[in-house]
Structure 1
């Protein structure tokens, strides 16, 4: 069965088996009924990994399918490597876009796997305490996927119960805000019922702090600024998290799950992974057990006009290049630059970096500086940091400014991030608490861009600020040509995949597509 050509319904029906077969012996295979639902703690402990595993599918693909092409590309930070057209980067978005379709289908697979757990809990043998913990974990992961769906498609189908028939799968568009209403409810439950930390092989699972930070983020995106400030301030004031002394430590493989990290994707190169492997791979090839990230080969430099970096094509495809606009956004000698992108003369795995390898003269270095090539090709095991404390500081600054007009507190948070990057303040002077509201917002937007570059936040930030009236994308953002000419309000949302429209008659396409 080819999941690329089937509807949400079939993904919901078959996805469970693919993700759990490494941990559970489900009998009879292919049936979802009361005889096969899980009952014991051990059953749920194993099954709870399946929704996590689905997140890996966003990141593993060596050509960038999913997160890199679908989320990272459409922004003013990244430029594709070729001299022709890249539809994602240049805003030529069509319903047959495979990258967007992958994000859509994998998100619903993750929703399904969470719903399986939620549907099974009432009939289990678990204690009330254990039921609450597994419910909270499933709701956190379901929220993760629904946030992707809501922010990228606006009114995606809302499926909060396990679907077991094709007829029940004919779910049309949700009402505006309906999906994020569920996300808020799920995360509120999760923050009250998840543990504050994990140990051993459970490190990386969702925590109460991750749920609270995520809830604050959802409120911020919905312009519920006072609520966002409350949740984000609580994460900051909890004392659970602290900024790493060095900015670059956040992207070092040897410092994963550190004090600044609130939630991150757990990767390996085919050996043991607590989240299980990705769903792709055939017996006999190197992808069995694979839970690595494709960032290493997607982001590393390749060739431009015949000038090739070491490892080009074999260890680097050169698909992501740093726009000149982003390079110019950094203040002169900002200490974060070397940990964000390579420039002329920087050490590039033992060779001086040459700007001739890139169409813009620079390629990303974030997550790559201590990368070591392993026998398994095109894979990295450096965890992707989804939410970290610096991001929470900057979201809290935005919420305090736009919700409470509290310039001083907003700038205090911005300055926490700047002082970590430059403790002396000689390169990055502090932002003044007496700044105007407009100046303060400019400072926040600047800091988010340089602090979080290539972490998947930029385009969503631009859309959020545009919708809040803080910026006007056509006037204030330089995507470069031809992207500037192509961008329109249509691109605030992505097109629904054509295959889903063909199979679900009640699903309507987003305007403009």
Structure 2
């Protein structure tokens, strides 16, 4: 009986130690609890949002995006050995066309990332001027992605926050006029806090002048 009690006590002790050991943060996994702590985290999130423009499958300046936009114009004609791409040139594509679907999905992935930046930036403890600049940059990116959606799809859902629960994912489309109104709002609010120019090390990031060119020339790419 004595042996049984000793074994039971030892088992409980080991179980307690194992429980404490398991309550550790995995150093190889980035979570929202440990991210958004520094300015570098914000910059990385912005870089990930910019990067989607060149995503090969659905970025608007990636392969499929170029085919979606130029394939419907006079720049080139897509040959008929890839059916869903040929449909773009002949204006016979359906809503489930792979190229169009990929551009749609990537645009919303970028919008999701921009919204994440705006919702979490306060955690980084930045000075107001830097925080406002990064928020402006995120709004520019969100507005530019809605610009892409508006000129290609018209009525689309407007998502301005990060979904908190499953039900938040299912929202209806907004009329195209409301999408354009949101684009104007994002660009207008972003402009004052964006720099007029950037040095070579930051070439390609949003500036006030770049915003004006994008807005004033709807066909600008």
Distance 1:66 1:56 in 2: 10
Which structure's CA Rg is the greater one?
Answer: 2
Identify the residue that residue 206 of structure 1 maps to in structure 2.
Answer: 206
The 5 A counterparts of 1:120-269 are: 120-217=120-217
Equivalent position of 1:66 in the other structure: 64
Shift of 1:129: 0.1
Kept in 2, the 8 Å contact 1:188–1:211? The answer is no
Q: Is the 8 A contact 1:188 1:212 kept in 2?
A: no
How many angstroms apart in 2 are the aligned matches of 1:26 and 1:164?
Answer: 25
Higher strand share: 1
Is the contact between residue 149 and residue 156 of structure 1 (CA under 8 Å) also seen in structure 2?
yes
2:110 match: 110
**Which residue of the partner structure matches residue 36 of structure 2?**
38
Q: CA deviation at 1:91?
A: 1.2
Q: CA deviation at 1:58?
A: 5.2
Q: How does 1:430-469 map to 2 (within 5 A)?
A: none
SS in 1 for 2:134: helix
CA distance, structure 2, for counterparts of residue 154 and residue 60 of structure 1: 18
Q: Given the two structures, how large is their TM-score scaled by the length of structure 2? A: 0.76
Deviation at 1:195, TM superposition (A): 1.0
Alignment check: 8 A CA contact 1:40 1:125 kept: yes
Contact 2:194–2:206 under 8 Å retained in 1: yes
Structure 2: unaligned runs, 5 residues or longer? 1-25
Offset of 1:38 from its aligned partner?
0.8
CA distance in 2, matches of 1:152, 1:169: 22
Give the total of aligned pairs.
192
Query: How much does 1:83 deviate?
Result: 8.4
CA separation of 1:36/1:163 partners in 2, compared to 1, >3 Å: closer, same or farther?
farther
Distance 1:121 1:87, change over 3 A: same
Distance 1:108 1:47, change over 3 A: same
For residue 88 of structure 1, report the CA deviation from its aligned partner: 1.1
User: Structure 1's 44 and 77: CA in aligned 2 closer, same or farther, altered over 3 A?
Assistant: closer
CA offset at residue 213 of structure 1?
A: 2.0
Residue 53 of structure 1 corresponds to 51
Contact in 1 for aligned 2:58/2:104 (Cα 8 Å): no
Shift of 1:37: 4.6
Contact 1:140 1:190 in 2 (8 A): yes
Contact 1:28/1:36, CA 8 A, preserved across alignment: no
What is the CA-CA distance between 1:84 and the residue it aligns to? 9.5
CA distance in 2 between counterparts of 1:26 and 1:69 reads 41
d(CA) in 2 for partners of 1:144, 1:102: 17
In the other structure, the counterpart of 2:90 is 90
Distance 2:74 2:43 in 1: 42
Aligned ranges 1:341-490 → 2 under 5 Å: 386=221
Q: What SS does the aligned partner of 2:176 have? A: coil
Distance of aligned partners of 1:39 and 1:71 in 2 relative to their CA distance in 1, 3 Å threshold: same
CA-CA distance at 1:36 after TM superposition: 3.6
Gaps of 5+ in 1: 1-24, 222-384, 387-513
TM-score by length of 1: 0.35
* Gap change, CA 1:60 and 1:104, over 3 Å in 2: closer
**Residue 87 of structure 1 aligns to a residue in which SS?**
helix
| Matched-pair contact (CA < 8 Å) for 1:27–1:36 | no
The CA distance in 1 between the partners of 2:37 and 2:82, in whole Å, is 55
Q: Distance in 1 between matches of 2:82 and 2:140?
A: 40
The 1:55–1:214 alpha-carbon spacing in structure 2 relative to 1, beyond 3 Å, is same
1-side partners of 2:56 and 2:180: how far apart? 21
| Closer, same or farther: CA 89–28 of 1 in aligned 2, 3 Å | same
The match for 2:119 is 119
CA shift, 1:68, in A, is 2.3
| Higher fraction of helix | 2
How far does residue 39 in structure 1 lie from its aligned partner after superposition?
3.0
Q: In structure 2, do the counterparts of structure 1 residues 93 and 217 end up closer, same or farther at CA, with 3 Å as the change threshold?
A: same
Please give the per-residue CA displacement for 1:112-155, whole angstroms capped at 9, x wherever unaligned. 11111011123430111011110111111111111111111111
